Amino acid sequence: MAFSLTWLPDVLINAGLKVALSPGWESRGHGEMSEVRGVICHHTATPGKNSGNMPTLKTLIVGRPDLSGPLAQLGLGRDGTYYIVAAGRCFHAGAGEWQGTTSGNSHFIGIEAENTGGHDDTPWPAIQLEAYHRGVAAILNHIGKDASSCAGHKEYALPKGRKSDPDFDMDTFRVAVTDILNGTAPAPALIPSVTPATASKPARATLRRGLDNNPELVKIVQTRLGLTADGNLGPKTEAAIRAFQKAHDMVPDGIVGPKTWQAIAP
């Protein structure tokens, strides 16, 4: 059974953000969410700045010895990719209160951003922080809320001082989210729609499931991946692209952009 937050990927993609789906995310959760009233921001506080883009993903899915997963609906990698973990309720909030709501797990979407929370991981990568702002803004816009409905875990958690994440200033964060909601923030750096032409190869459009893709370009990808070249970028082709990306140490987002084009058809 799919839970109610299946709108999350589309909302983030429509905001120009990169999204990677974890298998089974639609039916993952500790039951159904109640009314979504906002977002709680976290950082993972796991060690290993140099251990990868989203090394905490497995933990977010399966949990810890003291707490079963899923632990958040979304993980945010260092390169700004959103990993969709669950469409149901997640154990991320614990005891606390924000704007009169005390049942955080039932009413707030949790975002766990990959960061150690230490001096070794400051400042945050600009691309990750930008994606954090824009992802929160996209979710709040979808549910009809303003930036005041976004709380840091350190602000929500009770007793006060129980949590310290995220380690950036939340008032400054909410100002950035407000600017995006009001349309006054600078335009984001979107995924390129076309890979530029070179002397040896023509320009190639970015391919992604759900777009009006060029069938001939899709056939090139399918042929290189050993699939039937029917020109349709459906779920089977997307899964093969993700597997290829993972095998080549790329973010498995299923999007054939410049880096993936270079690896599949150099």
| pLDDT tens for each residue of 141-187 | 999 999 999 999 999 999 999 999 999 999 999 999 999 999 999 87
CA 205 to CA 93: how far, in whole Å? 41
- Residue whose C-alpha is closest to residue 156's, from 229, 94, 88: 94
pLDDT higher than threshold 70 for residue 200: no
Domain(s) labelled CATH 1.10.101.10 in the chain stretch across: 194-264
The torsion angle over the Cα atoms of residues 202, 208, 213 and 217, rounded to 10 degrees, is 40
Given the candidates 3.20.10.10, 3.40.80.10, 3.20.20.70, 3.40.50.1000, the CATH classification of the domain at 4-182 is: 3.40.80.10
pLDDT of res. 49: 57
Over residues 183-208, the mean pLDDT reads 66
3 vs 16: which has the higher pLDDT: 3
pLDDT higher than threshold 50 for residue 199: no
Given the candidates 1.10.510.10, 3.30.1360.120, 1.10.101.10, 1.20.1110.10, the CATH classification of the domain at 194-264 is: 1.10.101.10
146 vs 20: which has the higher pLDDT: 146
Structure tokens at 246: 């993972």
Over residues 111-134, the mean pLDDT reads 91
Provide the whole-model pTM. 0.79
**Taking the CB of residue 193, how many other CB atoms lie within 10 A of it?**
9
CA distance to 62, 85, 244, per residue, from 69 (Å): 4, 10, 27
pLDDT of res. 170: 98
Beta partners for residue 247, in sequence order: none
pLDDT of res. 191: 55
Lowest-pLDDT range of 195-204, 230-239, 241-250? 195-204
pLDDT of res. 48: 64
3-state secondary structure the chain: CCCHHHHHHHHHHHCCCCEEECCCHHHCCCCCCCCCCEEEEEECCCCCCCCCCCCCHHHHHHEECCEECCCCCEEECCCCCEEECCCCCCCCCCCECECCECCHHHHEEEEEECCCCCHHHCCCCHHHHHHHHHHHHHHHHHHCCCHHHEEEHHHHECCCCCCCCCCCCHHHHHHHHHHHHHCCCCCCCCCCCEECCCCCCCCEECECCCCCCCHHHHHHHHHHCCCCCCCCCCHHHHHHHHHHHHHCCCCCCCCECHHHHHHHCC
Over residues 13-29, the mean pLDDT reads 92
CA 6 to CA 97: how far, in whole Å? 26
pLDDT in tens, 65-110: 999 999 999 999 988 989 999 999 999 999 999 999 999 999 999 9
pLDDT higher than threshold 70 for residue 111: yes
pLDDT of res. 203: 64
Domain(s) labelled CATH 3.40.80.10 in the chain stretch across: 4-182
Over residues 201-214, the mean pLDDT reads 75
pLDDT of res. 150: 98
